[in-house]
Every structure is written in C-alpha cells, then in structure tokens.
Structure 1
Amino acid sequence: METTNHFGSGASRSMLENFPLFRTSDPDEARDRVSRVFCEHRLRVVSGGSRVGAEMYYRPIRGIGIGRMRYGASVAIDPGSLESFALIQMPIHGSEVVEHGGNTVDTNADVASVLSPSLSLRLRHGEDTEKLFIKIDRGVLERHCRQHLGGELKSPIEFCPAMSLLAPRSLPWVRLMKWLYEEVGQDSQGQGVILDSPLFAAQIEQMVITTLLLCQPHNYSDRLADDGPSIAPSFVRKVERFVEENADEPLTIGDLAEEAGVSTRSLFAGFRKYRNTTPMQYLKDVRLRRVHEDLLRATPQLTTVTTIAGRWGFSHLGHFTVDYKRCFGESPSVTLHR
C-alpha cells in the first residue's frame, strides 16, 4: 500500500532526497553507517544474496531526527535495546516484523512501530521495505514528559509498540508527519526556516514529542490525561521558555524571577513543586543539552570540548565533565569524536 493514503504524495522514494546520508551494497558498511545514526547492532542478510541496496536520508532537528531508509534485502537486525533514544518507524513500502519487549508487531503502510529506549528489540526488515522514521533523544523525551506531568518519572517511558495509522487517535500524528516531511523536503539548499531558526526548531521538537505523548498509549498516558492541579503555573512555563531561548546569555536567578514577574522565593517554590528541580539547575540542564548537540555536530579537527563548553557558560572543565557524564553516560570528548 502506498503512503499517499497517509502522508501525501511526497511520501515516495524521492522523499528527503536533499539530505542523503549514504548508499551502499556492502552489508558491513550499511551496518556501520546505520550504527552512527542509531546504535551498535548485529545485521544479517537473510535472503537475496550477500549484498544489499541500502540507503538512508536523514536530517536532525535539535533532539529529534527525521529520516527515510531501506536495506534493499531481507535482513535481521538485533540492537539489543535502543537505550538512548525512542524510534517511530512508518513503512511506506513493504513490511517489517518487530519483536519488542515481549510483543510482536507486523508493521506495514497502515501500522507503525513505536520503539521505547529501554525494551529489548529485534527486527526483520523485508526485501522491498522502505520506511520513514523519527528518532527522539531519550533525555529530551523524558524532559518533555516531566514538564507535562509536573514531576519526576519513576520508571522509563514505555510505549505501546504498535501504532495504527488508521485509528482516530493517530490522525494528529499522521497530519504532523505529512507536514513535517513536506516542509523539510522543500529545504533543497539546507536553508529552510526550520533549520535557520533555533526558536522554530525548538517548537518543532516540542510539537513532535507532545503529539507522540498524547496520541500513542504509554505508561504515563493516564497521568497526562489528568488536568488536575499538577499542571505548572504560567510563570514556571514562562521561565522555561525564556531559558530555552536565552540559554547562551549570562542569566541569574534575579533575571529569571524578573522575567517571571514573581519573587525569587516563589520561583524556587514553583520549580521545586512542579518540576522537582531549581530554576538554575533547569538552566544548567538546558545548557548541557546544547553542548551535547554542538558536540555531535562539531568537527573534532576544528574545535575542542573546552571551546564549546565555554560557549555555553561552563568555565570549570572538571565540574562540567562530571555533570556531562551524569547526563549523557559518556565523556564530552567521546561525543565530539563520534
């Protein structure tokens, strides 16, 4: 079944062709290149000989990545678990069998897979299968979920692994994906508004994650559906937006309280009650995420960890490295040299 039923006429084998990442017939090269975008995994060609016709098109947008890929052969893929990201896969041709957290999902043009970071995973990718995908950084996903809930997550987010693209609750996701792929696809020179504007990119990131959290069932769905008193007051959300947009500025707690229009005491109380953190820790977390994003994009021969950390206000490299490892599970130098 063609994707024009769901994602419009742009969902074809020319989609995202302005962002080619690789094309190869070598299975080992395909595994290596896919690992760089996702994670280490085992790849075995099941049928169709020892060669593949693999290709991937990919564009990161802050904490998410949008892409299209195929293997051109029937392959078995075993990553163990994704660990650091969630992955939504939407076949536009063919099918894929997904074994995930004890469940089996037969995906096709009507059924997408929603893969949680912490659950076991194995895939069987059909020879004629091609898929769109959305990759979401685990830390960014959990942060958005915490913000909506107004509290900490006591366990990892676990989604229902099957998403029916025909179900009424999935229609907002389908409409958003159709718009997003078409918008990015028009950016033929890499100069589109999504990529030019950090503010708009942040809104895209938030829209994708919020739509997923509201459309696809998961272990926090019931809490998200509760519009009770856990929703943070407007001054907390205002400061969060202000920090996101001005994290590169030398902000103080006084600056944040002035922006919120409340006392520093009220600001601390609001963040402690509804976010289980402090305003300045929230600022540090945002800056750490920005460093992480810059390190992933940087060329090691042209910059250093110290330069990028300093750009985001981290002057003590030792303390910064400890905080970075705690957030991302690796040293900043490892991230830079990926």
Structure 2
Amino acid sequence: MHRAAFATRDPAEGVAVLDRVFAVREVRRSPDEPFRMELSSAGTGPLRHERLRLGGSSAAGSTDGSGVLRVGHVLGGQLTATGRGDRFARRGPFLFPRRPFSSRWAELDLMTVSLQPAAVQAHARRLLGDEDFRLEFTGDRPVDPTMARYWTATVRHLGRDVLPHEELMRAPLVRAETVRCLVTALLQTFPGSFLERSRERTGGPAAPPSAVRRALAYIEAHLDEDIGLAEIAAAARMSPRGLQVAFRRELGTTPTHRLRDARLDAAHRALLDADPGTTVETVMVRWGFVHRGRFAAAYRERHGCNPAATLRA
C-alpha cells in the first residue's frame, strides 16, 4: 500500500515533485509570483489515485506521458493543452496523451488516476482470452455520458470509501478487487481496441454444461483467492465472453455475480460461526467487500436479514 502527502511554497521543491510524480519538465513560471503546491497520493500495486493543487502564478510545462495511463478530472482552475491536436476536457474525465505534450495551468485542482500500461494490457488479454491482443486507446474522452458517470462514480468510491481505510487495504482480496475494478472501468469507458474487440459477435458452438460445472467448481474452490472472470473462464476452458453467454443461458446470471453470491454465502457462514469479538466489518473485508452499506444490502437480498442480526444469532 502506497500513501503520501506533500505541500510546499518553494518553487524548486514543487517543480522537482512535478518531475518525479508526473514527469512534468521544463516548467515555465514567473519567478516573482507566489507558488503553492499540495499533493496527496494513495494506491496499491499498479494503481495510484492522486489529488494535485497548484496555486499562485500561472505556469506551463512539458510532460512525457508515455510511461503511464493517466486519467484526469479538473475539479477547479484551468488546465489547457498547448500542443497541436491536444485538448483537455474542461468538465469530466479525460485520458492524458501517452506521448510528450505541453500544457498550461492556473489555480489548478486536479484529480488523477494512474495505471501501469503493462497491468492494463495483461488484464485486457485475460478478459478477451487472447495473449497476443494489443491494447490501444483511440480517444481521450469517454464513449458516452453514461460511461463518464460510471468512471467518475468508480473513482469517487475508490478515493472516499476504499483507499483511505487501512483495515480495508490490508485485505488481499480488497486490494486485488480494487485494481481489477479500476482497470475494467478504464477499458470500458474509453474508446479503443478493447471495446472494438469485445463488441464483436461471439461465434462458435454453445458451451456444454460441463464447462459451466467446471467454472462453478473453480469458484467454490478458490473463493478466498484473487480470481475474476478471466481466471474462471480459464478453469472452464472457455473464453471469458463465451463463459458469460453460457452462464446467462444456463443459470440466468454472470460468473462475477455468481462469485459475489458465493462470497456472500461464505460471509454468512463466517458470521454464524464467529468467535466473540468478531465484527461485521472484519468478516466483510475478509471476503472482499469494501462498502458496509452495499454489503448489507446485498447480504439482505441473498439471506433475508442484516449481517449484524446473523452475527448476534
């Protein structure tokens, strides 16, 4: 788990941090104007969630964006691209260019989510069942307003409900699900080769019931491990998309929803068998759930009572 905070009014210190964290170089600003910088960062594995505030005089700089996939959201102030062909959204999320670019900012309040490209491509390959797939993003804005809201809500949940909580982030399932959730949201939100491939029609024969049985057995045997759609599909010897179609046809659900339900059942058993002093939060986090209210709602829907009532039974 990574967590850091930094604040300075020293331009030299601030410029050095901009270089180290965001690869911003050749910063140009008036030496006689004030400077303020606040930066907070938290993350796990290939994921970073950052909040940057830059105040004082306006400034400009050049950035090498080739080493990271970074999505920005301007919360206040101004951030303007100055290179030919580059535009940053004034409202809503946008992908920074994955190449050198120039920009200008003033009284900036910027939230970013950064992901390592290798981790994103590896996840895309697992989801598609294609080890040779090459990920490329072809646009810097979300595919539609619905997906823009989806991304924004996902990032808000990450920054407010997940990353600030040490107990949650100590749980391996929570850390793994956090990264998987953000990477999947990125792939689904911004136009590129992943969306183009995933929208292709699924061909081939229908999945035999044995494949679904293999998937169900794998879910039950690996509930407490870092698994998702790609791992379940590999155990079923099917493509992820094919397995989703098979689950909807045979069971009326999806592999990931079945995994969630199985973990809710495991949490139910753990609450029933809990030792004195065990809390709902401890069990919830153990099985990969991060939001108390959402866990309680899903638990009630599946088991007909509140988790706290089960714990007291």
CA distance, structure 2, for counterparts of residue 61 and residue 185 of structure 1 = 9
Deviation per residue, 1:290-333 (Å, 9 max, x gap): xxxxxxxxxxxxxxxxxxxxxxxxxxxxxxxxxxxxxxxxxxxx
The one-letter code of the counterpart of 1:113 is F
Aligned-residue RMSD, C-alpha: 3.7
Give 1:206-285 correspondences, 5 Å limit. 206-226=180-200, 228-229=202-203, 245=225, 260=235
> Which residue is 2:305 aligned to?
none
DSSP 3-state at the match of 1:76? strand
Deviation per residue, 1:138-197 (Å, 9 max, x gap): 111111111122224565522412348x8123221122122112114653xxx231x111
Q: 1:124 aligns with which of 95, 99, 104?
A: 104
CA distance, structure 2, for counterparts of residue 186 and residue 228 of structure 1 = 40
Identify if the C-alpha distance between structure 1 residues 147 and 246 changes in structure 2 by more than 3 Å, giving closer, same or farther. closer
> Which residue is 2:159 aligned to?
181
CA distance, structure 1, for counterparts of residue 13 and residue 146 of structure 2 = 40
> Which residue is 2:278 aligned to?
none
Identify if the C-alpha distance between structure 1 residues 185 and 148 changes in structure 2 by more than 3 Å, giving closer, same or farther. closer
The one-letter code of the counterpart of 1:120 is P
CA distance, structure 1, for counterparts of residue 150 and residue 196 of structure 2 = 19
The alignment covers a number of residue pairs equal to 225
CA distance, structure 2, for counterparts of residue 107 and residue 48 of structure 1 = 29
Contact 2:60–2:103 (Cα < 8 Å) also in 1:
yes
> Which residue is 2:174 aligned to?
200
> Which residue is 1:172 aligned to?
150
Contact 2:121–2:134 (Cα < 8 Å) also in 1:
no
> Which residue is 2:86 aligned to?
104
Deviation at 1:246, TM superposition (A): 7.5
Unaligned runs of 5+ in 2: 243-313
> Which residue is 1:307 aligned to?
none
Identify if the C-alpha distance between structure 1 residues 77 and 211 changes in structure 2 by more than 3 Å, giving closer, same or farther. same
Deviation at 1:245, TM superposition (A): 3.9
Deviation at 1:222, TM superposition (A): 1.1
Contact 1:105–1:162 (Cα < 8 Å) also in 2:
no
Give 1:1-338 correspondences, 5 Å limit. 20-39=4-23, 41-47=24-30, 49-72=32-55, 73-80=57-64, 82-98=65-81, 103-108=85-90, 110-117=91-98, 119-125=99-105, 127-152=106-131, 155-163=134-142, 167-184=145-162, 186-187=164-165, 191-193=166-168, 195-226=169-200, 228-229=202-203, 245=225, 260=235
Deviation per residue, 1:109-133 (Å, 9 max, x gap): x23321253x3322222x2210111
Contact 1:27–1:43 (Cα < 8 Å) also in 2:
no
CA distance, structure 2, for counterparts of residue 38 and residue 211 of structure 1 = 22
Contact 2:73–2:94 (Cα < 8 Å) also in 1:
yes
Identity %: 17
Contact 2:66–2:100 (Cα < 8 Å) also in 1:
no
Contact 1:67–1:133 (Cα < 8 Å) also in 2:
yes
Identify if the C-alpha distance between structure 1 residues 27 and 155 changes in structure 2 by more than 3 Å, giving closer, same or farther. farther
DSSP 3-state at the match of 1:173? helix
The one-letter code of the counterpart of 1:103 is G
> Which residue is 2:258 aligned to?
none
Deviation per residue, 1:268-296 (Å, 9 max, x gap): xx79xx9xxxxxxxxxxxxxxxxxxxxxx
Q: Name which one, 1 or 2, has greater alpha-carbon Rg.
A: 2
Contact 1:56–1:67 (Cα < 8 Å) also in 2:
yes
* TM-score relative to the length of structure 2: 0.60
Identify if the C-alpha distance between structure 1 residues 236 and 96 changes in structure 2 by more than 3 Å, giving closer, same or farther. farther
CA distance, structure 2, for counterparts of residue 145 and residue 116 of structure 1 = 20
DSSP 3-state at the match of 2:159? helix
Contact 2:93–2:148 (Cα < 8 Å) also in 1:
no
